[in-house]
Amino acid sequence: MAKRKIYLENIPLAEALERWWKKLKEAGLDKPLAGERIPVDNSLGRVTAEAVSAKISSPFYHASAMDGYAVRFADTFGASETKPKRLRIGKESVYVDTGDPMPEGFDAVIMIEDVNIITPSLTLPPHRPRSAKRGGRGGGQGWGEEFIEIIEPATPWQHVRTIGEDIVATELILPENHIIRPVDIGALLGGGITEIVVRRKPKVVIIPTGTELVEPGAELKKGNIIEYNSRILGGMVEEWGGEAIRIKPVPDDYDAIRKAILEAIEIGDIVVINAGASLGSEDFTASIIEDIGEVIIHGVAIRPGKPVILGLMNKKPVVGIPGYPVSAFLTFRLFVKPLIYTCQGRTVPPEERIEAKLSRQVASPLGQEEFLRVKLGEVGGKLIATPVSRGAGVLMSLVRADGIVRISAQSEGLAAGSEIEVELLRQKADILNTIVCIGSHDNTLDLLANYLKKRYPEMSLSSAHVGSMGGLMALKRGEAHLAGTHLLDEETGEYNIPFLKRLLTEKKIVLVNLVYREQGLLVLRGNPKGIEGFEDLQRDDVIFINRQAGAGTRLLTDKSLKELGIELREVKGYDHEEYTHMGVASAVLSGIADTGLAILSSAVALDLDFIPVAKERYDLAIPEEFYNSEMIKRLLDIIRDDEEFRSHVLALGGYDISDMGKVIYKG
Amino acid sequence: MAKRKIYLENIPLAEALERWWKKLKEAGLDKPLAGERIPVDNSLGRVTAEAVSAKISSPFYHASAMDGYAVRFADTFGASETKPKRLRIGKESVYVDTGDPMPEGFDAVIMIEDVNIITPSLTLPPHRPRSAKRGGRGGGQGWGEEFIEIIEPATPWQHVRTIGEDIVATELILPENHIIRPVDIGALLGGGITEIVVRRKPKVVIIPTGTELVEPGAELKKGNIIEYNSRILGGMVEEWGGEAIRIKPVPDDYDAIRKAILEAIEIGDIVVINAGASLGSEDFTASIIEDIGEVIIHGVAIRPGKPVILGLMNKKPVVGIPGYPVSAFLTFRLFVKPLIYTCQGRTVPPEERIEAKLSRQVASPLGQEEFLRVKLGEVGGKLIATPVSRGAGVLMSLVRADGIVRISAQSEGLAAGSEIEVELLRQKADILNTIVCIGSHDNTLDLLANYLKKRYPEMSLSSAHVGSMGGLMALKRGEAHLAGTHLLDEETGEYNIPFLKRLLTEKKIVLVNLVYREQGLLVLRGNPKGIEGFEDLQRDDVIFINRQAGAGTRLLTDKSLKELGIELREVKGYDHEEYTHMGVASAVLSGIADTGLAILSSAVALDLDFIPVAKERYDLAIPEEFYNSEMIKRLLDIIRDDEEFRSHVLALGGYDISDMGKVIYKG
């Protein structure tokens, strides 16, 4: 099969959407799907496809609204405290429970509290007898007649639920295009409706393509990619009210993919092909769509997500979604979500948006609209947005993100401190319950985040790893509630305090110890290159992996090299920076580098050997204004008193918790 | 079985919640349920019961991030435009697609766009050959060696996704108590996790009790009540993440209910008994709970919902929910919702709240916290809340409500114009897309509401029926976008315009005709009392049903009686008022009255006979400020041009649409 030459375009998003929807409209795809009849009992969350009117009234008979006695209101005229009126039970009055039908000809109810029951032989207390309604005493058979005595006349239909009080037969219960809620189900059933016509759920067939794809849980070989995108997309389809049909991964074979697409068009309302949308050698999607139907757009000026394909086949929308998970997520929201809603006769609910201040500068390419993921936190009344990784392959950036900032194609980026609009990916309330920690990374922070969520499900600890110095600067700018720091002052040999005094003169800071920890050089198990210390970094066959400038670990590296008189340019890999201890450990494990400086717990986690270099103090710097807040108190309670947390920290390895939670310094 | 005497208390809500949660805590019920292990593929929307860390890194091998050639960066030193460098394909360079593993020893990728491919015999275009990777041309076997030519050196690991770029093995993917979203499923699977431990969904057993209850769809006899409450409650349980177990209705029999409760405690985490919570003769719930376990609270100072029972049996919470649907809904939210969330390790998300202005005065009893249902609409930038029916049995009040206002137990009510806080039952965006129509009722308004939603799913027409005069007053106060009106001026015989001139002097109003319609006296089929006109209302055996003061139909009644010289006190039932035409029709059909004045379509709807009285003009009065708004334009488009709508109006019966949509008056 010949492969047609397809050029990747770069069409502005608005234009792409306009052209796409114009074609959809021409194909009649801008209308909801036909309805299907289903039992009301199964209709929760579905969308009505036609208006629903009541078949019967509710109540459909006059019913007592109270426990008491049914009477004819005309019989009660003239009753008063001085001239009580007596009505024979079973003749002029009949006991009724709430909900009981009114006896024929009766048109008012007197509450049980307002009657006296009179018997010929004895006077019952004004509580109705259990058996009254069952006829035991009605009608006066047996031992004489009973009466109720009332001291006030009744008004017509008092305490009666008349026919149709709730719903009148023929009345509109639900309009078309209404999303059915639990109360709606009640009203439908009450109005005598047991089946209704709802929009059919659009069937979205998701075809993962790629010879390298394997199902989750399969044994992995180098080159395999775990097929999880179809699960992400399928989950989104369900959240939007559609029905996802995930098919097994199809290998990169033109005919196999063509066959899968043709089958999908038969069974689905929307077809989604995942990956195969860029211009790699196995990217057949566009050729196949062009062969069978029409490619309307191939390439949109967005980042990530550019190689998306929008097409039509046999009057059904076919969308080629890029393979990187973040690109897949974003393009699916932009192009497939409105389709799924339209099929159901719904409009996409507007995303919740919020104003925030950007914590650092972001450059962005001209000519492409960028979707930047950010973390959010409210610090001192200001909402601060901090960008997370921008890699289209970094799914964890989405897992961790609180929102998305759109950077216009006409913009070269955003300055630090910009006021920006953020589309929320999490609930606003959750974001306001987030403690923002910016600074040095330590594995105990992940653990702390988990314990906080365990003890207080509504709270989160968000930590951004920008190094100790970056953390203190964030405190200075009022962008964090606390900062993890382990800055060694070369002159005094003291940790952190000299830096607070120097950098945070205008802020009162409480310094609380988290842990003492061991820093050392990580090497592969068995230390194959025989590295013994920093002096080996001069060797030609040893590649180092560094930490970013401003990290406490970087300062320790520089200090160690200086003491040994090693020039930085002698160290191979000195310019290659990682942002976390685990990043360094991972680089060593995977052979990117032979060694790097990191904490013992990261060596333990990835089963590496560890050459101790220094024991250091790792503290949390907390501005006084936050130190006494409820949020921080809860965090400190866990640090100081949660035995489960503390023993969990010890289990990580390499930590000394003897001062954990202790205030080291105030100033 | 002896029935114990139970008194209904009146405990303030806050105290009831405090006492209830204190007991729950003592019983260890303030903690989440134990977890269960399930496949990640089925975990959407579930809550993690423990933190989840990655088993493997993602990617778990160094992978190319681009389509291009893998190289050793050291081999590329010195390449420049003037001194290009050639690398043999298959030896110093290897073709890779995005995602392919890096060949052993290679540490950078050069994008396909940045290489020239040189062959001994011909020069290929700079598009990579399909077969390159498949080894067809690798290694130079066959017809000589191929090269790539580059003009820039590579940097180490450029365009390479190194191991753990997305997820590092052992890294925390999700904390405990996290609600799993589609992207989380992707990250878990990518991190090598295929099963996770999530909170078990709490099983909520719902026991409907009542001899009068029948299943929906069953043939109905007087006294039957369709059992729909358990469906409302069950739907709410599902929306909150629980598993609802609805059992068949249990008759009002002490032993039967006792047995059902004992069985429910065996299978459920929470037991809910619906109805049987007040003090009627069949209300056994409290006695049974007291017999087997403990009643903690019986009777809370809320309205509706007072007779709720909060109990404990065998360390499981048992809640008696009142029978009226609105009471059931409200008490379920107050007392059961937090239980369901706690079982899942979640906190109840805060209700969305909004500030609004109350459109009319509301009296409320001292000593009871009232939950008032309101409709909301934004009119001229102000959010207006209008109370709907307060009956605990009127489920439609919940179906139609946009929110709930809490009136404190210390308050005797709220004045018109009060600033109030409303807990939203609908999305805020939907409320802002609502056209507020206050005034006279006509059946075409229901139809119009449906067509608006059909054509514009995001929009709603909310109509409150307060009569023509009430509608004009609402326009005057700026509380409605339009008012339906049919006010006949006795002096001039003219409709509506004299009233606009008199009442709305300071507002410019556009008056648009909706319909001409016939008003007449409704009587049962066959006219059993032989009513011929208003003169028959003097008869002793004829009971009339009236409309409320301010209704156009009431004016027509009064004018007709006056013309005949009939005194109002001669008319039996004159003081009994209904608020809509359908209410009048329903009263006649159900025998509450013998006749009433209403429009022909209401007679058609309920199959009544109709004695014509007058043909009248029914208009929509629209303030000029709203007349040109996008929302009202859409509404008028339907009225003027939607043929389906117009023929539907004619099918209702009794309408003349010759002037429909025509501007009658501007001023």
Q: Are strands B362-363 and B413-414 parallel, antiparallel or unpaired?
A: antiparallel
pLDDT classification of A5: cutoffs 50, 70, 90: very low
Q: Are strands B85-88 and B213-214 parallel, antiparallel or unpaired?
A: unpaired
How distant, in Å, are the alpha carbons of A497, A547, A576, B36, B90 from that of B70?
48, 26, 19, 45, 10
Mean pLDDT of A533-541: 94
Q: Any idea of the CA torsion for B78, B82, B88, B94, to the nearest 10 degrees?
A: 70
Collapsed DSSP state (helix, strand, coil) of residue B532 = coil
DSSP A591: T
Is the CB of residue A594 less than 8 Å from the CB of residue A525?
no
pLDDT classification of B277: cutoffs 50, 70, 90: low
Nearest to A323 by CA among A205, A210, A204: A210
Contacts of A590 in chain B (CB under 8 A): 57, 62, 162-164
Q: Where are any strands of DSSP class E within A353-482?
A: 353-358, 362-363, 369-379, 382-387, 403-407, 413-414, 419-424, 434-439, 460-465
Instruction: Search chain B and give the residue with CA nearest A343.
Output: B457
Render pLDDT for A53-72 as a digit per residue (tens, 0 to 9). Answer: 999 999 999 999 988 999 99
pLDDT of residue B119: 85
Inter-chain contact A391–B165, Cβ cutoff 8 Å? yes
pLDDT of residue B144: 66
Contacts of A306 in chain B (CB under 8 A): none
Inter-chain contact B183–A395, Cβ cutoff 8 Å? yes
Instruction: Search chain A and give the residue with CA nearest B57.
Output: A586
Contacts of B165 in chain A (CB under 8 A): 391, 393-394
Inter-chain contact A220–B56, Cβ cutoff 8 Å? yes
Q: Is the pLDDT at A224 greater than 90, yes or no? A: yes
Mean pLDDT of A464-487: 92
Most A CBs within 10 A among B157, B219, B281, B284, hence the mutation to make, goes to B281
Contacts of B395 in chain A (CB under 8 A): 58, 166-167, 183, 186-187, 190
Q: Which residue has the higher pLDDT, B605 or A503?
A: A503
Most B CBs within 10 A among A43, A212, A395, hence the mutation to make, goes to A395
Q: Is the pLDDT at B126 greater than 60, yes or no? A: no
Inter-chain contact A323–B99, Cβ cutoff 8 Å? yes
Least CB–CB distance from A454: residue in B62, B177, B398 = B177
Mean pLDDT in chain A? Answer: 91
Mean pLDDT of A176-197: 97
Mean pLDDT of A505-524: 95
Q: What is the ipTM of this complex?
A: 0.89
Closest CA–CA distance from residue B458 to any residue of chain A (Å): 6
Inter-chain contact B394–A279, Cβ cutoff 8 Å? no
Inter-chain contact A175–B454, Cβ cutoff 8 Å? yes
Mean pLDDT of B315-342: 96
Other Cβ atoms less than 10 A from the Cβ of B549: the count is 12
Inter-chain contact B446–A171, Cβ cutoff 8 Å? yes
Inter-chain contact B190–A132, Cβ cutoff 8 Å? no
Mean pLDDT in chain B? Answer: 91
Most B CBs within 10 A among A43, A98, A321, hence the mutation to make, goes to A98
Specify the residue for token string 């009513």: B531
Q: Are strands A509-523 and A655-656 parallel, antiparallel or unpaired?
A: antiparallel
Q: Which residue has the higher pLDDT, A168 or B127?
A: A168
pLDDT of residue A450: 92
Mean pLDDT of B271-279: 80
Query: HEC states along A273-332?
Result: EECCCCCCCCCCHHHHHHHHCEEEEECECEECCCCCEEEEECCEEEEEECCCHHHHHHHH
pLDDT of residue B464: 84
Amino acid symbol at B370: E
pLDDT classification of A130: cutoffs 50, 70, 90: very low
pLDDT classification of A646: cutoffs 50, 70, 90: very high
Alpha helices in B162-240 (DSSP H): 182-190, 229-239
Q: Is the pLDDT at B241 greater than 70, yes or no? A: yes
Specify the residue for token string 């069985």: B263
Render pLDDT for B475-488 as a digit per residue (tens, 0 to 9). Answer: 999 999 999 999 99
Other Cβ atoms less than 10 A from the Cβ of A143: the count is 10
Contacts of A187 in chain B (CB under 8 A): 395-396, 399
Least CB–CB distance from A453: residue in B161, B176, B189 = B176
Mean pLDDT of B368-379: 94
How many whole angstroms separate alpha carbon A369 and alpha carbon A308?
Answer: 14
Least CB–CB distance from A163: residue in B59, B173, B586 = B586
Mean pLDDT of B66-76: 92
Contacts of A638 in chain B (CB under 8 A): none
Closest CA–CA distance from residue B345 to any residue of chain A (Å): 6
How many whole angstroms separate alpha carbon B419 and alpha carbon B359?
Answer: 10
Closest CA–CA distance from residue B173 to any residue of chain A (Å): 8
Return phi, psi of residue B148, to 5°: -105, 150
Inter-chain contact A166–B589, Cβ cutoff 8 Å? no
Residues with Cβ within 8 Å of B403's Cβ and at least 6 positions away in sequence, in order, are B354, B356, B373, B374, B376, B385, B422, B423, B424, B425, B426
Q: Is the pLDDT at B548 greater than 80, yes or no? A: yes
Collapsed DSSP state (helix, strand, coil) of residue B461 = strand
Q: How many CA atoms lie within 13 A of B444 on its CB side?
A: 31
Mean pLDDT of B520-541: 95
pLDDT of residue B416: 87
Most B CBs within 10 A among A137, A450, A578, hence the mutation to make, goes to A450
Is the CB of residue B634 less than 8 Å from the CB of residue B482?
no
Amino acid symbol at B356: A
**A and B: number of Cβ contacts within 8 A:** 304
Q: What would the two tokens of residue B301 be?
A: 């100072």
Render pLDDT for A300-338 as a digit per residue (tens, 0 to 9). Answer: 999 999 999 999 999 999 999 999 999 999 999 999 999
pLDDT of residue B280: 64
Render pLDDT for B599-639 as a digit per residue (tens, 0 to 9). Answer: 998 898 889 999 999 999 999 999 999 999 999 999 999 99
Render pLDDT for B159-206 as a digit per residue (tens, 0 to 9). Answer: 999 888 899 898 899 999 999 999 999 999 999 999 999 999 999 999
Nearest to B195 by CA among B180, B213, B210, B216: B180
Alpha helices in B99-206 (DSSP H): 182-190
Mean pLDDT of A574-598: 91
Inter-chain contact A586–B345, Cβ cutoff 8 Å? no
